Structure 1
Amino acid sequence: MRTIDITAGSREAKQAYSLYEQACEEQDMLHLPLTDREFEEKFLLPQEGMEKISLILEGGRAFASGVADRLTGKLFVTMAVTEKSSRRQGFGRAVLYDLEKRLMELNGKKELEISFFNPVPLPWGITGDKKIEHPNTPGVDVRSDAYIFLKNCGYRDFAMQNSYYLELSDYKLPEKMAEKRLQLEKEGITFTFYDPDVHTHMEKMLRDFQNPLWEKELLKETSRERGGRPVLVPVYQGRVCGFAGPLDVEKSKRGYFSGIGIDEAFRGKGLAKVLFCLLCEGLKERGAEFMTLFTGENNPARNIYEAVGFSIIRSWADMRKRQL
């Protein structure tokens, strides 16, 4: 079974796009449909800081795509799809194995990963009475056939992620959080939007969190007056001691959420819950109708989300495979 490199605008690109669309339509996966142009941008067209490889099996029965991320130095499998009538015949496994080999040749590393750190985000959603969409798939849906397929191909769980949902139509800042905010302000901690010309310590704090995605996104942000997307921060004597945001409303009316973090020197004061409640309030004021987010099964941050009223709607596995 021979695999072929997929290039934008080719017959193979159309075949791969058809496989992706079929899987979306038949709800074999939660990924949202893409236009053919969006598909090519995600899987085929060059992007700064990464190298993509997309392969299709001769005859168009299965395709797989992955990326080498220069920022983290990691190798990621982004997608593997097999035509429905051709499953369980070795086609998907064949194209995935060729993809793994090609990715490892790029930087000599022997470990492949499927996780939210993948720099190629794929949107997903759940149909039903409520509109639920999220811009990035944080792993492998544990309810999907793909999860079993990847287990059989040698991938193993290294973390579990839960996706959370909150409807914002009835959201109000809890009275206890309003009182806590006043208490913190008496201690000199105020809540405002980040302005790099006024506030200090943002870059150091983000580096200390050791989350390259936060650094990549948030260090681009500026104050609203300078045209940037606003980032909500608690500030003590001009020093940033946490963040939440950026505050942005997507086309789906989802309130955007990159993350929340508190400087280690200011933890234990209740800042995180107040900060997150203010974020929800701010997003609602900007027109957001709902929020989705994900966090690790064992991440203490889940206590913040659940206290506000978020509920789990899906669970995902972050998976790795190491070649011997």
Structure 2
Amino acid sequence: MKEEMENIDDPLKKEDEIVNLDKVEIDEVEEIEIDDDPLKKEDEIVHLDKIEIEEPEVEETKIEEPEIKELEIEALEIEEPEIEIDDNIEITKEPGISIIIEEKPVEILTIEESTTEEYTIEELADENIHAAVELYNKVINHDKLAYKLLSVETFKEYFIDETQYKKYNYIIMSDGKCISFINGIVANETGFITFVAVDPDYRRCGIGREMVNHLEEIERVENITKYEMSFFNPINLDWNIPEYETYDHPNSQGVDVSTPAYIFFKNLFYRDVLCQNTYFKELKDFSYTEDIEEKIKSLNERGIEIGYLNKEQHTGLKELFDNLGNELWREGIMNAIDPVLVILDGNKVCGFTGPLRVQASGRGFFIGIGIHSEYRKLGAGKVLFNALCKGLKDEGATFMTLFTGDNNPARNIYESAKFKIVKSWQVMRKIVL
């Protein structure tokens, strides 16, 4: 059973191209010459046209400065020619002296040409795989993402090696290095986006947006109905539990809301669908609480017990999964090789959890927990989950991780066993129009 089905409590139906920005051409500002300045004839205007001297006495013909200033202003207002001036020119008037034309600061002068102008989006080729891996790991470190660093081989396994679904990989190269990488995959009429990386030195230039737009156009050919980031993506990227580098989880449940990617996709018209929380607990000190002991006793008094599934002896499996309405759980449990814990009412199965498996990292594995609707509110779910934790600890597991929807009542079961949320994800989707 594929690990991507793990812990699904809520089923969720999951050219070479040149990136150009126009160059800005800035015309030089023409100098404007103003002829016939009315002030050039100021002396003549003042002494000949405007002043009449009636008597020879100087005292009676003396012209005071305030009168001269007034005449200067009047001449400026009456005889100033009309001039058409560009919007980028500012006129400063200094009365009695001249008209000075200055260039206004033009903001467009500070705009630099986009660094994406000469770059081409191309398919990832074998000769560029090492460069793509280098960029992937650089972004993980720079952005402090939870995803594990990849070798060339693991990178190929995740993103390149073909499965039943077609994978898409595109890059942008510059001077021999990869400055952007994107991966997507199409499955079940859904175009998934797995990872988008842009070199930190080339961000804020629209590269990431153009990469996503390009991938969407490619995936659209597959007759998909939506684009999505969710736990239904067949590519399951491992990531480390924050502050516990040796502990991991085998897949992401959407977009990490603690990263800039969340707002990035919102601005590309992706919408929130469902918040998923990842829970974590170390198992080294796990034991039943007094409350769980009491619930076990109460169930036993009703004839309800916890045991291991025996498909040949136990009944009610079909009815249980019909009641739960989860075909992935049905498939996972019916095909399970590892032990499965069940709630038994006599010989009838009325709940399940498991299968119990310990992964190489020490993680206790299970795909989910389900209780028949007729047996809920009896504490059976909490008892069954605690039995799972104890069983995995006894098998050698050192920790457990799981995820569930923010509004899923199952979170009450996990939180009652002292599991803590370590990361929140948002399932994001864009409908194909």
TM exceeds 0.5?
A: yes
1:213-238 CA deviation, whole Å, 9 max, x = no partner?
434433320xxxxxx21121112343
Measured in 1, the distance between the counterparts of 2:309 and 2:419 equals 26
Match of 2:217 in 1: 101
Measured in 1, the distance between the counterparts of 2:366 and 2:162 equals 26
Match of 2:73 in 1: none
CA contact (8 A) 2:242 2:422 kept: no
CA contact (8 A) 1:28 1:144 kept: no
CA contact (8 A) 1:203 1:219 kept: no
Deviation of 1:122 (Å): 0.9
Deviation of 1:131 (Å): 4.1
Match of 2:190 in 1: 74
Match of 1:319 in 2: 428
Deviates more, 1:312-321 or 1:193-202: 193-202
Deviation of 1:210 (Å): 4.0
Measured in 1, the distance between the counterparts of 2:173 and 2:214 equals 13
Q: Secondary structure at the match of 1:158?
A: strand
Q: 1:89 to 1:124 in 2, by over 3 A?
A: same
Measured in 2, the distance between the counterparts of 1:296 and 1:90 equals 33
| Alignment map for 1:81-120 (pairs within 5 Å) | 81-106=197-222, 108-120=223-235
Q: Secondary structure at the match of 2:404?
A: strand
Residue 141 of structure 2 corresponds to residue 141 of structure 1: no
Match of 2:416 in 1: 307
AA in 1 matched with 2:277: N
Measured in 2, the distance between the counterparts of 1:143 and 1:201 equals 43
1:195-249 CA deviation, whole Å, 9 max, x = no partner?
322233435533553445434433320xxxxxx2112111234332221122111
Q: 1:315 to 1:74 in 2, by over 3 A?
A: same
Q: Secondary structure at the match of 1:195?
A: coil
Q: 1:258 to 1:27 in 2, by over 3 A?
A: farther
CA contact (8 A) 2:273 2:429 kept: yes
Measured in 2, the distance between the counterparts of 1:181 and 1:136 equals 33
Measured in 2, the distance between the counterparts of 1:205 and 1:52 equals 36
Measured in 1, the distance between the counterparts of 2:323 and 2:191 equals 24
- Equivalenced residue count is 312
Match of 1:225 in 2: none
Match of 1:245 in 2: 354
> For 1:163, which of 266, 274, 278 is the aligned residue?
278
Deviation of 1:127 (Å): 4.6
Q: 1:132 to 1:185 in 2, by over 3 A?
A: same
Measured in 2, the distance between the counterparts of 1:25 and 1:303 equals 35
CA contact (8 A) 1:30 1:124 kept: yes
CA contact (8 A) 1:4 1:55 kept: yes
If the length of structure 1 is used for normalisation, what is the TM-score? 0.88
AA in 1 matched with 2:267: N
AA in 2 matched with 1:244: T
Residue 392 of structure 2 corresponds to residue 283 of structure 1: yes
Match of 1:172 in 2: 287
Deviation of 1:157 (Å): 0.9
AA in 2 matched with 1:134: H
1:231-288 CA deviation, whole Å, 9 max, x = no partner?
2111234332221122111222121232111122322221110000000101111111
Residue 182 of structure 2 corresponds to residue 61 of structure 1: no
Measured in 1, the distance between the counterparts of 2:134 and 2:310 equals 46
If the length of structure 2 is used for normalisation, what is the TM-score? 0.67
Q: Which runs of 5+ in 2 are unaligned?
A: 1-17, 19-119
Measured in 2, the distance between the counterparts of 1:122 and 1:296 equals 19
Deviation of 1:74 (Å): 2.8
Match of 2:6 in 1: none
> For 1:263, which of 368, 372, 394 is the aligned residue?
372
Measured in 1, the distance between the counterparts of 2:251 and 2:275 equals 15
| Alignment map for 1:193-272 (pairs within 5 Å) | 193-206=308-321, 208-221=323-336, 228-272=337-381
Match of 1:23 in 2: 139
CA contact (8 A) 2:356 2:388 kept: yes
Q: Matched residues, percent identical?
A: 38
Deviates more, 1:292-301 or 1:211-220: 211-220
Measured in 2, the distance between the counterparts of 1:27 and 1:58 equals 21
Measured in 2, the distance between the counterparts of 1:171 and 1:125 equals 22
Measured in 1, the distance between the counterparts of 2:380 and 2:282 equals 23
AA in 2 matched with 1:32: K
Match of 2:383 in 1: 274
Deviation of 1:308 (Å): 0.8
> For 1:187, which of 294, 302, 317 is the aligned residue?
302
CA contact (8 A) 1:244 1:276 kept: yes
Q: 1:96 to 1:216 in 2, by over 3 A?
A: farther
Q: What RMSD over aligned residues (CA atoms) do the two structures have, in Å?
A: 2.1
1:110-156 CA deviation, whole Å, 9 max, x = no partner?
31111112121111113536743111111111110111211122211
CA contact (8 A) 2:275 2:405 kept: yes
Deviates more, 1:212-221 or 1:97-106: 212-221
Deviation of 1:5 (Å): 2.7
Measured in 2, the distance between the counterparts of 1:272 and 1:5 equals 49
CA contact (8 A) 1:6 1:44 kept: no
